[in-house]
Amino acid sequence: MGKAKSGKTVTKKDEKRNPLASKIKNFDELVKEYELFDENLTFNMVLHKMAETLEFYLKIIQQLLQPEEFHSLYEANAFDDTQKSRLMDLYKKMIIVHRGILKAELLNDEKNSIAIIQLSNSEIQKFKPSMIEVIDRMRDSWKTEVKPDVNRKSANYFG
């Protein structure tokens, strides 16, 4: 038996289950969060799943900042220019984390991958409350009639 970086005692059974369990802090949380159920899991597989999560968040924000489909056009009206500016700031932070993950996948270095996995997971957890607020606002836009702001400087796209 040894100690993982998380301080948790790692048994031979855990290491046999997945060799990354002893190398990645909070491994069980990552397994649950990113649905990592492959017993032959690699660092790049973990990084890839994290990138997919960020890509999902980024796509939601993109649809609000540059709506192209009807539902996106409608939901984007629920956000004023100040809120869209905050969305853009959030988008930038997510892109920085996403690009760090891509770099780590390319480098394929164990020490760097472990560091990026820890950092990226921490950042993704910070993004979640903001994303929940965004999704709530999107959902709520369908509950009430959203009237376009005629004073808004940016025009809506009507294709």
pLDDT score for 7 = 46
Tokens 């853009």, residue located: 88
pLDDT digits (tens, 9 = 90+) for 57-79: 999 999 999 999 999 999 999 99
pLDDT score for 37 = 84
pLDDT greater than 90 at residue 150: no
User: How much is the average pLDDT of 33-42?
Assistant: 88
Confidence tier at 157 by pLDDT (50, 70, 90)? very low
Beta-carbon count within 10 A of 12 CB: 10
pLDDT score for 19 = 83
The C-alpha atoms of residue 70 and residue 93 are separated, in whole angstroms, by 27
User: How much is the average pLDDT of 29-44?
Assistant: 90
Of the candidates 58, 50, 57, the residue with the CA atom closest to the CA atom of residue 122: 50
